[in-house]
Structure 1
Amino acid sequence: MDNDSFWKIIEECREKAHGRAERLAWLKDELARRTVKEIVGFQVCLDRLCEQAFTWDLWAAAERIFGGWCSDDGFCYFRLWAVGLGQAAFERAVRDPDTLAEAPEVRRLAGRPRGGWGDHWPEWEELDYVAAEAYEQATQVSGEFATFYEAVDALQSDDELVRDPLGKRWDVRDEVEASRRLPQLSSRFPITMQP
């Protein structure tokens, strides 16, 4: 599966299903109808895109949205969520994380208490497991996750492992720097002491 095929599936999912649970079910069924090679390829594409988004600037955007802090796991799930925004929004966010402020999924959160975000919280951990679940459904062999991840690893064997985010880390709580680097997000998501 190449990037174009991957994004076509993500875009179709965005059109046909709403809400995380419905989107996950749609993706799982769609992938399960495909070949094992395509299912594995979907995960490889997803992993590569998440690595492209592994930058300090995007992490700072996540921290700004979350109120000044975002864990390693939280940033992983945030990047998966960013993929779920679709190709155009994802690619803009990787180039310029402040463009996330323009995404409807982010605009609806601005000004609302984080405790009330519920299912709109900008993370999508489950997207990272949907291909493995589709693989299990397609092969009709329960517990084949090890085989699935071995196939993913084999396709990624030539990929260079990115251990640290790209760019330079900076403090999103520095209002002057945040206003310069993330003006829209800084305006819409002021840092408060309470999450």
Structure 2
Amino acid sequence: MNVAEFWKFLERSAEETTDPAQRLDWLAYRLSRVSLDHIADFQLHLEAARRPIDTYAMWGAANQIMDGLCSGDAFWYFQPWLIGQGQRWWQHAAQNPDNLADLPAVRALAGSSPWEWADADWPHWEGLAYVAPRAHDHITGRENSLDEAQDARGHRTYCDPEPTDHPWDSDSLAQIEQRLPRLARLFPRQHNVKP
């Protein structure tokens, strides 16, 4: 599975259903019908897609959308959600995290508090990180079989954010307004913000 096929496969799941759990089921079912190498490729492409968006800049943007509630785990789950929006939106946001303001799924959250969001609307999709391991384990009949396959390829799997840019204070109103002007207008912070 090459990178174009990865994106096509992921985007096809969104054409089938918008429900995150049903998309995962669709992906797991389809992945369980391809070769083990293709399943490993899917996971590698997913992890590679995380790298350009695993930044403090993107973390700050996610934190703004979530009204200051974006912990390390929440940011880790936000990344596959953003990837799940499709290649076009992922690239657009990777260019500048403030571009998240253009995403239809983000705009749909504006004007309401995170406490009002339905579970399916939250900008996180933890399960996408586990769909390939689930399919791989199903085919092999062994737990953690994908980890073994990735190790054999010499791939280091990481499981927490590892931002590569410079940290900034995403709870500072001045820095938010400077770095994320459009998101600041769409999602005025209610909590955990410093003047």
TM-score calculated relative to the size of structure 1:
0.90
Give the paired residue count: 191
Distance 1:136 1:158 in 2: 19
Q: Deviations over 1:102-157 (max 9, x none)?
A: 11111111111211212200000011110111113333x1xx23221111233353
Distance 1:32 1:61 in 2: 35
Alpha carbons of structure 1 residues 75 and 163: separation in structure 2 relative to 1, 3 Å? closer
Whether contact under 8 Å (1:98, 1:184) holds in the other structure is yes
Distance 1:40 1:163 in 2: 21
Q: Deviations over 1:36-56 (max 9, x none)?
A: 100111111111111221111
Distance 2:73 2:82 in 1: 14
Equivalent residue number for residue 84 of structure 1: 84
Alpha carbons of structure 1 residues 55 and 117: separation in structure 2 relative to 1, 3 Å? same
Q: Deviations over 1:91-111 (max 9, x none)?
A: 111111111111111111111
Equivalent residue number for residue 189 of structure 1: 187
Equivalent residue number for residue 124 of structure 1: 125
Distance 2:144 2:157 in 1: 20
Equivalent residue number for residue 105 of structure 1: 105
1:178 positional shift: 1.3
Equivalent residue number for residue 171 of structure 2: 173
Whether contact under 8 Å (1:60, 1:172) holds in the other structure is yes
Equivalent residue number for residue 155 of structure 2: 157
Structure 2: which 5+ runs fail to align? none
Structure 1: which 5+ runs fail to align? none
1:159 positional shift: 8.8
SS in 2 for 1:64: helix
Task: Map 1:23-102 onto structure 2 (within 5 A).
Answer: 23-102=23-102
1:160 positional shift: 10
Q: Percent identity?
A: 36
Q: Which amino acid is 1:153 matched to? A: D
Which contiguous aligned blocks of 4+ residues in structure 1 show a shift greater than 6 angstroms?
158-163
Alpha carbons of structure 1 residues 56 and 13: separation in structure 2 relative to 1, 3 Å? same
Greater shift, 116-125 or 144-153, is seen at 144-153
TM-score calculated relative to the size of structure 2:
0.90
Distance 2:81 2:174 in 1: 28
Distance 1:72 1:91 in 2: 22
Alpha carbons of structure 1 residues 21 and 111: separation in structure 2 relative to 1, 3 Å? same
Alpha carbons of structure 1 residues 149 and 91: separation in structure 2 relative to 1, 3 Å? same
